[in-house]
Amino acid sequence: MKPEKEFCRALAAEIRKEREQARKTQNEVYCETNINIARLEKGDASIELFTFMFICRYFGVNSDEVLKRLETSHTYDLKRSPRSGLIKKSEELSPTSLF
């Protein structure tokens, strides 16, 4: 599975976890925010940054904490880059090596 897809699924699981902890149904979230959370929770589509930040604020969680949980989880391979296969160490990177 592509790293982007793995990340989307892991993020979707975190969003679902936050919704369940808030004891909200998908329909309640939709009615209160106009965000189709059911679609996001499937993990099939990437989530826009603004939407992610809005959802975190809606559930009263810090977006940094959610991302940190994803970073430390082993549900996807963060070492793979969508472009090159492997992320290089920062000291190996130059502006031209990114593209």
The residue assigned the tokens 């989530």 is 47
pTM of the model: 0.71
- Return the CATH architecture of domain 3-98: Orthogonal Bundle (1.10)
Note the pLDDT of residue 40.
Answer: 92
Note the pLDDT of residue 76.
Answer: 55
Please, what is the average pLDDT of the chain? 80
Note the pLDDT of residue 82.
Answer: 53
Note the pLDDT of residue 8.
Answer: 86
SS3 20: helix
The residue assigned the tokens 């809606």 is 58
The DSSP call for residue 90 is G
Provide the pLDDT confidence category of residue 75 given band limits of 50, 70 and 90: low
Per-domain residue ranges of the chain: 3-98
